[in-house]
Chains A and B, each alone.
Chain A
Amino acid sequence: MTDTYLTLVNSGVTKKLAQQLGLPQPAPLRRFRAGQPLLDGPALVLGPGADADAVAALLSGGPGTGWDLDVHRHAVPETRYAAVVLVLTEVVHPTALGEHVLAAAAVLKKLARGGRVVTVSREATADDAPAVAAARQGVDGLLRSLAKELRGGATGNGIVLGGDVPVDAPSVVGALRFFLSARSAFVDGQLLAVDSSAGSLPEDWDRPLAGRVAVVTGAARGIGASIADTLARDGATVVAVDVPAAGEQLAAVANRVRGTALQLDVTADDAGARILEHALQRHGRLDIVVHNAGITRDKLLANMTPDKWDSVLAVNIASQLKINEALLTSGDFTDAPRIVSLASTSGIAGNRGQTNYAASKGGVIGMVRATAPLLTAFGGTANAVAPGFIETDMTARIPALTRQVARRLNSLQQGGLPVDVAETVAFLASPAAGGVVGRVLRVCGQNMVGQ
């Protein structure tokens, strides 16, 4: 699972050789460690109006009011910025973008390794004046292009405020912190919509899930095990679920995160009831469900067999629908509940040989979109995470050359790690994400395919 190429182009003679040959030079990504500072340097907040001032105040405020960062409102020459936040919510004409964007451009060459560019803008709708909509939608193209230009493990992501959501809404603040932090290492070129002012900020940003009980399906290995680890690190009590046959690895995960193991086939008719019963009886509540269990049975559609098609649909989407229905009708999933479901870039952009898998993962995206509104009355939400190329046992089985190419087909020129997916799941499961309603957040290093 190690990316030898990434190691080679970042050390010694091979590094120099790669530079001279003009080969892709992926940078090691800065990943979250307990106790690390939010940013490794000053932040530059650009943009007009009160929203930009509010963001600057949040970043620079002392304990209790902000994140105590070194914040500049104007670029100081020769400064190596760790982050640039472009607040463009009050731009009403495309021609007004230039001033702020070019101010940011001046510091990009000296952006710190693993630096962050985050845009904050408003959603363009058909009801907007044409110039306003043009300015707002323009940010979308700007951000996606800018992200492709960043190097050295830096990422660019955007927060898009819907309706009259204020810039200090919990989910805007939560998303901004997520995108600035090392937790979003492999999230790149993405625009996350914030639909409402729902959600709440954690008392402790290092333990946003304290007191919450989370169920993770498919938790015995790979991405699921990493999700269990990450939710537990963030303070959640974890119920680790996997099929009985994976019980040995599942027990190891449950013991590592000091949670409980529940051996269960998610396709069983009573899976939702048994998950709920276990969580309530053993932990007193259930707040978060992460639908991670999934299988692949790849075959060109022309060669597809009913068992390959049906089993993928049964595990990857039908089980989730059934479990969600059991939870939603139970009356015991009502305290700001969170559903986070694993989609896939295959479900967005399509992938040859994966019609069954892509149908199921596209289904996940439709499901969370329609499920989230059913939860908002309780302060709840449902969202999806779509991983791109992640270094797992599954992708390790891809033929070597294909794997090397697949890894480089994104702006970060490398595969992500299971923990990158887990960090995004943890963000969407957090109280701060309550205003993100039925969305899909990609963890793909800005993969070249799809949106």
Chain B
Amino acid sequence: MAASTPKSHTGAAAAATGARRALVLGGNRIPFARAGGAYAHASNQDMLTAALDGLVARYGLQGERIGEVAAGAVLKHSRDFNLTRESVLGSALSPETPAYDLQQACATGLETVISLTNKIRLGQLESAIAGGVDSTSDAPIAVSDRLRRVLLDLSHAKTTGQKLAAAARIRPKDLAPAAPRTDEPRTGLSMGEHQALTTAQWGITREAQDEVALLSHQRLAAAWDAGFFDDLVTPFRGLVRDANLRADTSMEKLAKLKPAFGLSLDTPATMTAGNSTPLTDGASTVLLGSDEWAAAHDLTPLAVVVDAEAGAVDFVHGVDGLLMAPAFAVPRLLARNGLTLDDFEYVEIHEAFASTVLTTLAAWESEEFGRERLGLSGAFGKVDRARLNVHGSSLAAGHPFAATGGRIVATISKELHRRKAAEGGTPRALVSVCAAGGLGLTAILEAA
């Protein structure tokens, strides 16, 4: 097991640069709500502020000047250009806490963890809070491009004649609002349609996808029932548990759902609302720090952020599936750290769709993919399903885009700490998050 392997516990990359450890010290999120549900009238700033305040309360950080807070949202109003800083100002943290916004689609939350821990490793920061938030209920709605141009010209117009000329260009159809779109700009396909192509390519069955979804609900429900989230979640606006969680779902119930994506393909459509993540509102935060800062604040280190690797695929030309970047990033990350999949007690693969998890696993198990796409001598490896998403993942919890990374990091860091306290050794976790634009972000954590 990990404890008996000769490999470095601080990570090869960190050891090579002589950098110090960057720790996960805790986390807090609000329960995730279904779109239009409990947080229908909460803004991104409301939710991120609540998640920060819960973190402050749990760790006694009132008035504390944190080194830096980084967070972001995928769907963002233009007025929220300083979303994270404004949330900090509304929180119980010191108003002298710097902050910045960051955005990398669904990898936003994980990227805030990685960039902040890198600053800690470099000695630029002693403490930091990573986070993310998204509201699909309070999404920005813009005016049409034509109307926007007219309005801008109007504001620049000086004479009455110029103003009238500009206003005269408005047509009734220009008044229709432009709702936010998560479709891929270069293909016009939704993420679900893209994944349906990948699902078909890898021959993933409906039953296999429903099994992933069922297990996600069962495991998340068990974690809630065991009180695992008592120190990871703070209720918000009357919601005390993840609203999407269906503890009583079953293969029969999941099998009854109609396919939602891939209906126009030659192969049978297998992706349903049950094995795809729903639109979700929520926010998450992760407390990060150096060993010195943790000790000075009487905080127990949970996990070390060891290393990370981003990836991207050419989905535009159909070379790979939209959400397959982690299948390439993880082998590079593990090779750099001298690790194999067997060296991980935990593997967290974000369940954008059940089939995202399954196509990634299938690629890693494929001899052909290993040889031809990864340049290995054979298959990359097999993930023991018992180690995969042990406390459930996005299919059950929901997926407020930028908040998912923080949910995963805080949850698995607590689990790593629990495992080490119970069984010793230095258990490791692999975290993988796919994202729009063919992006993927992966990281290695180990118990502190």
Q: Assuming A244-B235, A248-B234, A263-B234, is B57 touching A255 (CB within 8 A)?
A: yes
User: What would be 9 A-B contacts, judged by CB atoms less than 8 Å apart?
Assistant: A244-B230, A250-B234, A251-B56, A252-B53, A255-B56, A260-B57, A261-B54, A282-B59, A284-B298
Select which of A244, A252, A259, A263 is within 8 A of B60 by beta carbon. A259
The 7 closest A-B pairs by CB, nearest first: A251-B57, A254-B57, A261-B57, A255-B92, A247-B234, A260-B60, A258-B62
Q: Is A283 an interface residue (CB 8 A)?
A: yes
Q: Is A57 an interface residue (CB 8 A)?
A: no
Q: Is B6 an interface residue (CB 8 A)?
A: no
Which of A368-426 touch B at CB < 8 Å?
none
Q: In whole Å, how far is B103's beta carbon from the nearest beta carbon of chain A?
A: 27
Closest residue of chain B to A265 (Cβ to Cβ) is B227
Closest residue of chain A to B30 (Cβ to Cβ) is A248
Chain A positions within 8 Å of B235 at CB level = 244-248
Q: Assuming A244-B235, A251-B57, A252-B53, is B230 touching A263 (CB within 8 A)?
A: yes
Closest residue of chain A to B231 (Cβ to Cβ) is A263
A residues contacting B by CB (< 8 A) are 240, 244-248, 250-252, 254-255, 258-265, 268, 281-284
- Known A247-B235, A251-B54; 19 more pairs at CB < 8 Å: A244-B229, A244-B230, A244-B235, A247-B54, A247-B233, A247-B240, A248-B50, A248-B54, A251-B53, A251-B56, A251-B57, A258-B63, A260-B57, A260-B59, A262-B231, A263-B234, A265-B227, A282-B298, A282-B299
Cα of A263 to Cα of B28 in the assembled complex, Å: 12
Select which of B60, B230, B299 is within 8 A of A258 by beta carbon. B60
Q: Is B401 an interface residue (CB 8 A)?
A: no
Q: Is B58 an interface residue (CB 8 A)?
A: yes
Chain B positions within 8 Å of A247 at CB level = 54, 233-235, 240
Closest residue of chain A to B31 (Cβ to Cβ) is A247
Chain A positions within 8 Å of B58 at CB level = 251, 254, 260-261
Contact with A along B213-256 (1 / 0, CB 8 A): 00000000000000101110111110010000000000000000
Q: Assuming A248-B235, A261-B57, A282-B60, is B227 touching A268 (CB within 8 A)?
A: yes
Q: Is the CB of A248 within 8 A of B92?
A: no
Closest residue of chain A to B54 (Cβ to Cβ) is A251
- Give the interface centre of A268, A281, A282 by most chain B CB atoms within 10 Å: A282
Chain A positions within 8 Å of B8 at CB level = none
Closest residue of chain B to A253 (Cβ to Cβ) is B57
Cα of A258 to Cα of B92 in the assembled complex, Å: 9
Q: In whole Å, how far is A253's beta carbon from the nearest beta carbon of chain B?
A: 8
Closest residue of chain A to B300 (Cβ to Cβ) is A281
Q: Is the CB of B298 within 8 A of A251?
A: no
Q: Is the CB of A251 within 8 A of B240?
A: no
Chain B positions within 8 Å of A259 at CB level = 60
Q: In whole Å, how far is A277's beta carbon from the nearest beta carbon of chain B?
A: 10
Chain A positions within 8 Å of B230 at CB level = 244, 263-264
Chain B contact residue count (CB 8 A cutoff):
24
Q: Assuming A252-B53, A255-B92, is B298 touching A281 (CB within 8 A)?
A: yes
Chain B positions within 8 Å of A251 at CB level = 53-54, 56-58, 234
Cα of A282 to Cα of B299 in the assembled complex, Å: 7
Cα of A255 to Cα of B59 in the assembled complex, Å: 10
Cα of A283 to Cα of B59 in the assembled complex, Å: 11
Contact with A along B34-55 (1 / 0, CB 8 A): 0000000000000000100110
Chain B positions within 8 Å of A283 at CB level = 298
Q: In whole Å, how far is A8's beta carbon from the nearest beta carbon of chain B?
A: 36
Q: Is the CB of B236 within 8 A of A248?
A: yes
Q: Is the CB of A244 within 8 A of B227?
A: yes
Chain A positions within 8 Å of B300 at CB level = 281
- Give the interface centre of A252, A255, A283 by most chain B CB atoms within 10 Å: A255
Cα of A250 to Cα of B58 in the assembled complex, Å: 10
Q: Is the CB of A245 within 8 A of B298?
A: no
Chain A positions within 8 Å of B62 at CB level = 255, 258
Cα of A262 to Cα of B230 in the assembled complex, Å: 8
Q: In whole Å, how far is A220's beta carbon from the nearest beta carbon of chain B?
A: 10
Contact with A along B117-160 (1 / 0, CB 8 A): 00000000000000000000000000000000000000000000
Closest residue of chain B to A240 (Cβ to Cβ) is B57
Cα of A74 to Cα of B237 in the assembled complex, Å: 61
Contact with A along B60-85 (1 / 0, CB 8 A): 10110000000000000000000000
Cα of A282 to Cα of B26 in the assembled complex, Å: 13
Cα of A232 to Cα of B85 in the assembled complex, Å: 29
Chain A positions within 8 Å of B57 at CB level = 240, 250-252, 254-255, 260-261
Closest residue of chain B to A238 (Cβ to Cβ) is B60
Chain A positions within 8 Å of B60 at CB level = 254, 258-260, 282
Q: In whole Å, how far is B298's beta carbon from the nearest beta carbon of chain A?
A: 5
Chain A positions within 8 Å of B299 at CB level = 282
Closest residue of chain A to B59 (Cβ to Cβ) is A260
Cα of A134 to Cα of B214 in the assembled complex, Å: 77
Chain A positions within 8 Å of B53 at CB level = 251-252, 255
- Give the interface centre of B60, B62, B231, B236 by most chain A CB atoms within 10 Å: B60
Q: Is the CB of B231 within 8 A of A245?
A: no
Cα of A268 to Cα of B235 in the assembled complex, Å: 19
Chain B positions within 8 Å of A284 at CB level = 298
Q: In whole Å, how far is A230's beta carbon from the nearest beta carbon of chain B?
A: 18
Chain B positions within 8 Å of A261 at CB level = 54, 57-58, 234
Q: Is the CB of A245 within 8 A of B59?
A: no
- Give the interface centre of A260, A263, A264 by most chain B CB atoms within 10 Å: A263
Chain A positions within 8 Å of B229 at CB level = 244
Cα of A283 to Cα of B60 in the assembled complex, Å: 10
Q: Is the CB of A244 within 8 A of B240?
A: yes
Cα of A247 to Cα of B53 in the assembled complex, Å: 11
